Amino acid sequence: MKSAQRTSRPLALAMAAMVGLPLALSGCGSSTAASSTEAVTEISVMDYYNNEPDKSFIGDALTKCGTQLGVTVKRETVPGKSLVSKVLQQSSSKTLPDVLMLDNPDLQQIAATGALAPLADFKVSTENFAEGVLSAGTYKDKVYGLAPTVNTIALFYNKDILAKAGVTPPTTWDELKEASAKLTAGDQYGLAFNANPTYEGTWQFLPVMWSNGGDEKKIDTKETEQALQLWTDLVKSGSVSSSALNWTQADVKDQFLAGKAAMMVNGPWQIPALDKQPTLQYGVVKIPVREAGQTSVAPLGGEVWTVPQTGNKARQAKAAEMVACLNSDENQLAMATARNTIPSKTTLSDKFASDNPKLATFTELIKTARARTGQLGEEWPAQATKIYTAIQSSLTGNASPADALKQAQGQ
Amino acid sequence: MSLATDLPHSKGQTTGGAAKTHGLGTGQPAPRRRTRQRRERLFQWLFLVPAVVYMTLFFGYPVVKNVVMSFQEYTTSTFFTGEAPWVGFANYVTVLSSSLFSTSLLNTVLFTIGSIVGQFVIGLSLAIFFQRKFPLNGILRSLLLLPWLLPLIVSSAVWRWILDKDSGALNRFLGDLGIIDTGIPWLTSTSLALIAVVGVNIWIGIPFNMTILYGGLQEIPDELYEAGSLDGATGWKAFRHITWPMLRPVVSVVLVLGVVYTLKVLDIILGLTNGGPANSTQTIATQSYNLSFHEFKFGEGAALGNVLVIISLVFAVLYLRASRRAVDE
């Protein structure tokens, strides 16, 4: 035994060195042995805005807040897909940044690990925020993240194509089906949406499901079945290309831009691309509801800013001030205008909507928009998988909407 | 092998009394030789150390970790708290009893067999074709390597455009030829998607098969064909009686490596269809990836990953046995 231990020690040391080396290299200054009186001069920030122009917009806001708080901002941007795995690595090596941005449906997973600090600990104000925004940032009754600006999806329509066909933007499902059918001709489809087997497909289905009273906790209900029937009918009748089963939201935008879809379900982040084509005249309306009188409920998108548990109270307090600064009225309006997103405080919506008429519909929707994780918490990924699985099996004709939902719920 | 057979033989000798005197007589030089031998053995081992350390760190550790993980409830919290309760075989039970498992397993088998057969047959035909001497042979051969050089994520993005139902290049081409009226839903029909994905994977695997088999063909001495042609073995007969038997060792390498590579293909399927439509292109590899990195069920993902490792091991063992027999012969 003894000799075995002796020989294995160098190996263990070597392994420890190799494992520890990257940690030491990436440990960008979240030293744990600091008193709360220490003056904080630097704050590390991590987010996934790694593409222009968002990269600069967010960078400017961070620098501005940094100057205001008297700290330099050390920012790292990582690709969106690798953010969560990076955060998990950093939590196990205790090298989380001082301020961390998360996509709102991921907040639950990270908050559940205990890696985040409740914002109430630092007296960050949560007043005036839209209900959905707060619920997206809340895990087990505590607010961990705040989103300065948010977004959602609505129905874009090509004004010229609709005018030529004598169609007005639909408000109910029947009108939507009728309009889509009328607008389908040659290689032009009436409507484009995304129903791919990822969370994006689920996200685009949520408005029809929620507006009709569908429940994400239990999906084999009449309400959700009706919603899935609508999606299925649209594809089966040929008003929506069956390619929707494989499209991303960016593909949907390309179809709309190319005039191959008269209407599309999409979000305000596509507006810069649409505006680049001056010949394109488009309008935005709420996603239709089954019966007039129902409220169009849209899912809430956007990123929340959080304060990880780094163990350094002074830096954490500064980080919380940074989150508060990003969420000041002035910064919310500035970032929303620059990035075609919506301020998350309802007190700002009237002013914002009148200043930005293009975003008026989205601003209206945010007031009632729901967080994907509001009811499910960390169960969201599993349930979202069931929802897109059901959508796929119904849209391909593998099962009726009712059977597809029943199978998926039982999975 | 020779050491093991010598041992009982020498033992047999020492059982007799005569052996003792024999041992005494030559007793002096034997220990010295033994220490020299031992030192030599030590050096031999020392040369192995870097390889062993490397293998342990980068292959052993992940494999062991993956096995351990599959018996734990490994969640996002584990990364922060380090706590992962043991759950026995629960992850395996969940994964294997899921209704998706049989679909994924069948798709994995179809995907692997389809890809391997296609890649191998086309790769071998091209390798034989390029054995002839003709102008531009070298340039054409290097052009055929292109699919191999492209990042998989780029290939899958390009193929996704080509195979698009409404505006894809393939459907336009077929349409212009008058073969089809409406677009074929290559990637969005449950009956076609797997075929399309296999087709793309074949395209990606051809260069590998062609290169290795071409190398194998170069090794076959020309004299054999000359002698064969005197006996009337040309064309198909030459292939059957000379090329194929001589190529067999290379063929087994290509096939086993091909199977192991294909079993774990991830990027192509994720890039083309994301496992859809309706799970018709979901394989064990993509399902394991989904479980771990989209649903954050790391334990279940690891369990499914291990199932894949076991399937690969079966082929590795088959390969080892086949190659050992070849050496014995």
Q: What is the ipTM of this complex?
A: 0.85
Residues A118 and A49 in one domain: yes
Quick check: is A212 in a domain? yes
Give the lowest-confidence range in A6-15, A352-361, A371-380, B87-96. A6-15
Quick check: is B34 in a domain? no
Residues of A in contact with B273 (CB under 8 A): 197, 246
pLDDT given at position A330: 95
Residue A85 has pLDDT above 60, yes or no: yes
Contact A109 B76 (CB under 8 A): yes
Residues A135 and A251 in one domain: no
Would you place residue A30 in the very low, low, confident or very high pLDDT band (cuts 50, 70, 90)? very low
Quick check: is B12 in a domain? no
Q: How far is A98 from chain B (nearest CA, A)?
A: 16
The mean of the pLDDT values for chain B is 86
Q: Give the strand pairing for A138-139 and A142-143.
A: antiparallel
Would you place residue B137 in the very low, low, confident or very high pLDDT band (cuts 50, 70, 90)? confident
Measured between alpha carbons, how far is B162 from A396 in angstroms, rounded to an integer?
21
Residue A236 has pLDDT above 50, yes or no: yes
Q: Name every residue in A having a CB less than 8 A away from some CB of B.
A: 11, 14-15, 18, 85, 88-89, 91-92, 109-110, 112-115, 187, 196-199, 241-246, 258, 260, 378, 381-382, 385, 389, 392-393, 395-396, 398, 407, 411
Residues A277 and A320 in one domain: no
Quick check: is A276 in a domain? yes
Q: How far is A208 from chain B (nearest CA, A)?
A: 20
Residues A159 and A294 in one domain: yes
pLDDT given at position A127: 92
Residues A209 and A292 in one domain: yes
Q: How many CB atoms lie within 10 A of CB B287?
A: 27
Q: Between A15, A85, A392, which is nearest B57 by CB?
A: A15
Total tally of structural domains belonging to chain B: 1
- The interaxial angle of helices B152-162 and B169-176, nearest 10 deg, is 40
Interface A-B: count of C-beta contacts within 8 A? 103
CATH number at residue B220: 1.10.3720.10
Residues A146 and A216 in one domain: no
Segments of A130-257 assigned E as strands: 138-139, 142-143, 145-146, 149-151, 154-158, 189-192
Query: CA-based Rg of chain A, rounded to a whole angstrom?
Result: 24
The position carrying tokens 């940032």 is A137
Residues A89 and A225 in one domain: no
Q: Residue B182's domain spans which residues?
A: 100-282
Total tally of structural domains belonging to chain A: 2
Q: How far is A397 from chain B (nearest CA, A)?
A: 9
If 0-12 CB within 10 Å is exposed, 13-18 middle and 19+ buried, where does residue A142 land? middle
Mean pLDDT across B276-298: 94
Residues of B in contact with A18 (CB under 8 A): 57
pLDDT given at position B33: 77
pLDDT given at position B171: 93
pLDDT in tens, B165-205: 988 999 999 999 998 888 899 999 999 999 999 999 999 99
Residue A39, SS3 per DSSP:
coil
Residues of B in contact with A85 (CB under 8 A): 293
Q: How many CB atoms lie within 10 A of CB B276?
A: 29
Contact A197 B275 (CB under 8 A): yes
Residues of A in contact with B277 (CB under 8 A): 197, 245-246, 392, 395-396
Q: Between B82, B98, B166, which is nearest A241 by CB?
A: B166
Residues A84 and A129 in one domain: yes
Q: Between A14, A92, A395, which is nearest B80 by CB?
A: A92
By CA distance, what is A381's nearest residue in B? Answer: B295
Rounded percentage of chain A residues whose pLDDT exceeds 70: 91
pLDDT given at position B298: 94
